[in-house]
Structure 1
């Protein structure tokens, strides 16, 4: 009887393990809505290979994606880099059928939407528009439909670089660990803007006591992430080629460190782009485009500060966005310039990366989001 129980338990555990599927969703600049724009691949969590599942056409430039907390819906910035255009679109993903189906679109409230985030309750979608520097707030109804935006904030001020910072440019919208604050990374104004988020209100964005945090002039804050412990925050600066480290408490950021993402042989033309932390909280990864085309690797110290570990080529050009799978085992880089996707296996002890699997070709690939079902 005991032997039978052990065998049954082992078999059930085996079935459960292999019933878990991990999918990678890729956005792109397709420049033609009649061609494929969003791509869905399944990630083999043993060897890191990607296998194509389905694609979606009929939408223009779905450059950035985000996944709802329950995994049912994929939201996309659409009509990115389209003159007088800009929208956000919703899709339903069914893992059982491995299908991705269009639900609806709404105007983005500005030109060139570049970043989306969803509240943990799945009822709010936040979009950042880059070109004129604005943010829009949308309710999400049952069935994943995006309703018209209920708030739209426009910003105008710029900063010291007259070519790149002639006005505000919102490049990302990121919730605090408790989802009670929203941070807007303003590349144009060299500010991290802060709002309270009251999800029970019809118009949830409210003024915060600390309205913004200044970054180094000319640094161009781009993307932002929090440590899993919720005590530290990290901002990657596109123009400054650095990561700024902050302690975090109740909507307030306090500067701890600023460290370059570039090796010593690169000291100009910075194009840093994305930043993520491993699920175990031990390592931070930052992507560099331009001349380097690599991932900078940092170990995270007990006080939240960073120490450089090394650099890993992304095996392509212009790594705009990358992602870590939920287990932290793999890092997937999207190389927009060379139109290829590369999977790396992560060393849990050292944080270093090693290429695995085969390169995947996706023309003008610009974003990846990874979800386990």
Structure 2
């Protein structure tokens, strides 16, 4: 029996070393390369407590982040909202050593990159530029390095709101669950653009018979997500204050519902921003900024349609993005104006949210991503 004790101690030690950890990645508008721009925190999945792991300076306005499928690399929209600039940058993340290390950057093809997505193969990066209304496609090296863009598409459409929609504005770049199609919500043109994505080709974006879905005029499509079953897709409309629901099949979107994200007492001036679905596919969450500063909560029926079941104030101002942790226990939201990151507890049965009391102060925080290792 005594001879087994050292072995047990070794096993316990190794379990401690390799036990799963959850990290939270935060991007910001730091407006100054000498201050921190990207922050990484470890999430306690029992309490919701966030403990700082590392941060990165010498990066300008890393406003939006995404991670490679294996979590080894972080990709960022950098030099956002910067005249005559705009780039995408890559970093390597080591969860054991808790380090984030700069790799390289490439020009984004526009001065205001707002969204980056990684193909599920980990071999392609797609970036959306808001101001110039374009999308750029980059091969990715095994080292995480972003290689020069092999494809760039630009758009010149407009829509009915001459203040906000005098030109096209790509606001997100979202792969289908099989990563064989790419969707581009265009706030300026009131369209959801679509391409087939052939990852075996040097120029993977391929035109399809129906290149876009027309959204309600003046609605301003912003962010987009798929149901885990792959049968439905959801687009949040920034200016319309609504979520449009689509039946999905092989690159085709067919509208089946459009439902308000805002409370009935709000009639105009909507600033809806982000949309995500719980991993079990039962609930959809949508953020409202501006006058509301809340998260609208919806139950998802078997036919994909939504029913509003409540609202949760974000306890801050201007919630730009949010994310649900892989365990489904917590929802974390970034409030840009109040410079706060708020952690909410999710009720897996009801879908409702409750404050944990956990909050961070992060200057101009603009994006959150969560990854379990």
Per the shorter chain, which TM-score range?
A: over 0.9
Distance 1:275 1:13, change over 3 A: farther
Aligned to 1:59: 59
TM-fit CA distance, 1:15: 3.5
Aligned to 1:305: 305
CA contact (8 A) 1:47 1:357 kept: no
Could you report, residue by residue, the CA deviation over 1:96-154 in whole angstroms, capped at 9, with x for unpaired residues? 11000000000001120000000000000000000010000000012100011000001
Aligned to 1:230: 230
TM-fit CA distance, 1:358: 2.2
| Structure 1 CA distance for aligned equivalents of residues 371 and 229 of structure 2 | 21
TM-fit CA distance, 1:266: 1.0
Aligned to 1:127: 127
CA contact (8 A) 1:29 1:63 kept: yes
CA contact (8 A) 1:50 1:357 kept: no
Written as runs of structure 1 = structure 2, the 5 A alignment for 1:241-320 is 241-320=241-320
| Structure 1 CA distance for aligned equivalents of residues 181 and 204 of structure 2 | 10
| Structure 1 CA distance for aligned equivalents of residues 18 and 367 of structure 2 | 27
SS at match of 2:144: coil
Alignment of 1:44 onto 2:41:
no
SS at match of 2:195: strand
Unpaired stretches in structure 1, ≥5 consecutive residues: none
Aligned to 2:358: 358
Could you report, residue by residue, the CA deviation over 1:57-85 in whole angstroms, capped at 9, with x for unpaired residues? 10110000000000000000000001111
| Structure 2 CA distance for aligned equivalents of residues 111 and 261 of structure 1 | 30
Structure 1: 4+ residue segments shifted above 6 A = 11-14
TM-fit CA distance, 1:16: 7.1
Aligned to 2:371: 371
Distance 1:14 1:325, change over 3 A: farther
| Structure 1 CA distance for aligned equivalents of residues 64 and 12 of structure 2 | 38
| Structure 1 CA distance for aligned equivalents of residues 360 and 17 of structure 2 | 26
Aligned to 2:239: 239
Aligned to 2:347: 347
| Structure 1 CA distance for aligned equivalents of residues 240 and 277 of structure 2 | 20
| Structure 1 CA distance for aligned equivalents of residues 36 and 357 of structure 2 | 23
Aligned alpha-carbon RMSD (Å): 1.9
TM-fit CA distance, 1:18: 7.7
Aligned to 1:155: 155
Distance 1:301 1:14, change over 3 A: farther
| Structure 2 CA distance for aligned equivalents of residues 59 and 79 of structure 1 | 8
Alignment of 1:170 onto 2:160:
no
Could you report, residue by residue, the CA deviation over 1:149-187 in whole angstroms, capped at 9, with x for unpaired residues? 000001001000000000000000000111100001100
CA contact (8 A) 1:75 1:90 kept: yes
Unpaired stretches in structure 2, ≥5 consecutive residues: none
In the superposition, the TM-score normalised over structure 2's length comes to 0.96
Aligned to 2:107: 107
| Structure 1 CA distance for aligned equivalents of residues 359 and 198 of structure 2 | 43
| Corresponding pairs, count | 369
In the superposition, the TM-score normalised over structure 1's length comes to 0.96
| Structure 1 CA distance for aligned equivalents of residues 16 and 295 of structure 2 | 34
Could you report, residue by residue, the CA deviation over 1:352-372 in whole angstroms, capped at 9, with x for unpaired residues? 001114210000000000000
Aligned to 2:207: 207
| Structure 1 CA distance for aligned equivalents of residues 12 and 98 of structure 2 | 24
| Structure 2 CA distance for aligned equivalents of residues 71 and 347 of structure 1 | 27
| Structure 1 CA distance for aligned equivalents of residues 12 and 253 of structure 2 | 47
